[in-house]
Structure 1
């Protein structure tokens, strides 16, 4: 797997548009496309092997709001789509699988309702990614608005013996800022967990991607990239598969 396959383009949906937030701030929005479906198709055409779709409205409101757009994305691209944003119940997760997403990312529910989370994992074994959103060294939930007492590793360890797919680690303070990913934080998680880790947040250059790619041997599966792709700092079509 080359750098192109290692990169997972992000398609974040807010108010029906493809956007990026700056450091998780719902008021710091940049719109990159009026039609998220077209954006998803563009990344697939440029060589993406996998897409990361987030319902930002859902993340902030606590339940997915953009079902139809996500379904249209799934139907429009032949590559796997992982989805996150507002998945706080078994029924919400079930609906997303019914419309064709490949994997789901769950963060807040894993912290708030262990019983419901376990039910989801048991029913959709190997299809759940635990979202670890870190802010100032602590896991944040509810659209990054509320910090918990757990470090990312402490939080992740609670789920590492379950039949999940793996973990998505986002450093929220770096997200959308293109200041470089949290290499050390990603490495610590990957070295100490038995499941794969996807990195996210802060990637601004191909060099950033290469640094994370070197962590593959520890269990880093890939990296979600948003702003650097949208701003043309990283050109997916120019990378090797």
Structure 2
């Protein structure tokens, strides 16, 4: 299992939201590059970045920040938020992004998703953000009516290899991940699943790494790192001591 420290960007700052609510924002840093370098120093190999402005409004707001982090660290960057066209995907990859996470467009434009997978292969992942077992899009503000498992199977049929699964109810709450929902998804699909949302303690990391019959391929940690309730180096050590990563390492850029 890989550990993905998270940087969520809004108005140029590193922030964390509670359950995706833009009105419940905490700013943790005004220097995303410095934060990324600190994560790298602690031993991270991957970085999960989200453009919240893009997720809410569409388009890119922070691509130059992403480019600076890709060029200024050795981290492999997984990036999402507001990426809703093939041209946008290409700009992200040109900026140095190793894996692009698609959300809204994967649900609304399966033709674009299929073309993206055909062109970029494993560098495409899909974010499945769920509220009560139903997929939500457009920065989590619009529910689709599509069940998580049905959507995951559709992604698998489309050739997607990796999904990022977020249970919105626990995101930013520091109450622990929704392990039952995660295990159910892992059992329902052969996709590589990166778990996101709710990690609050090092025991949460240990529990995810030890899930059987298979653990998630990765675990995204955000607020717990910023508040100090989880040390990144300790989380990485637990992940490395668990079963060999199921997730492909992606393309180093």
Shorter chain as normaliser: what TM range? over 0.9
Q: Which residue of the partner structure matches residue 118 of structure 1?
A: 114
1:40-79 aligned at under 5 Å gives the runs 40-79=36-75
1:18 Cα deviation from its structure 2 partner: 0.6
Cα distance in 2 for residues equivalent to 1:238 and 1:192: 30
The answer as to 2:5 corresponding to 1:9 is yes
1:178 Cα deviation from its structure 2 partner: 0.7
Q: Which residue of the partner structure matches residue 89 of structure 1?
A: 85
Equivalent pair of 1:126/1:163 in contact (CA under 8 Å): no
1:80-136 CA distances to partner (integer Å, 9 max, x unpaired)?
100000011110001000111000111110111111111111111111111000012
Cα distance in 2 for residues equivalent to 1:165 and 1:108: 17
Cα distance in 1 for residues equivalent to 2:54 and 2:73: 22
Q: Which residue of the partner structure matches residue 197 of structure 1?
A: 193
Unmatched tracts of structure 1, length 5 or more: none
Cα distance in 1 for residues equivalent to 2:150 and 2:214: 18
Cα distance in 2 for residues equivalent to 1:209 and 1:41: 22
Equivalent pair of 2:208/2:215 in contact (CA under 8 Å): no
Equivalent pair of 2:114/2:159 in contact (CA under 8 Å): no
Secondary structure of 2:145's match? coil
Cα distance in 1 for residues equivalent to 2:153 and 2:234: 37
1:17-43 CA distances to partner (integer Å, 9 max, x unpaired)?
011011100111111111111111111
1:170-190 CA distances to partner (integer Å, 9 max, x unpaired)?
011111111110101111111
Cα distance in 2 for residues equivalent to 1:131 and 1:211: 22
Cα distance in 1 for residues equivalent to 2:203 and 2:234: 14
Q: Which runs of 4+ in 1 moved over 4 A?
A: none
1:32-78 CA distances to partner (integer Å, 9 max, x unpaired)?
11111111111111111110000001101111211100100111110
Cα distance in 2 for residues equivalent to 1:117 and 1:84: 14
Cα distance in 1 for residues equivalent to 2:215 and 2:193: 6
Count of aligned residue pairs for this structure pair? 237
Equivalent pair of 1:196/1:219 in contact (CA under 8 Å): no
Equivalent pair of 1:15/1:57 in contact (CA under 8 Å): yes
Structure 2 residue corresponding to 1:159, chosen from 155, 158, 161: 155
Structure 2 residue corresponding to 1:222, chosen from 218, 225, 228: 218
1:162-210 CA distances to partner (integer Å, 9 max, x unpaired)?
3323110001111111111010111111122122100001110011111
Cα distance in 2 for residues equivalent to 1:19 and 1:217: 35
Secondary structure of 2:217's match? strand
Cα distance in 1 for residues equivalent to 2:168 and 2:54: 17
Question: What's the Cα RMSD here?
Answer: 1.3
Cα distance in 2 for residues equivalent to 1:161 and 1:111: 13
TM-score normalised to structure 1 length: 0.95
Cα distance in 2 for residues equivalent to 1:238 and 1:106: 30
Unmatched tracts of structure 2, length 5 or more: 241-253
The more displaced of 112-121 and 10-19 is: 112-121
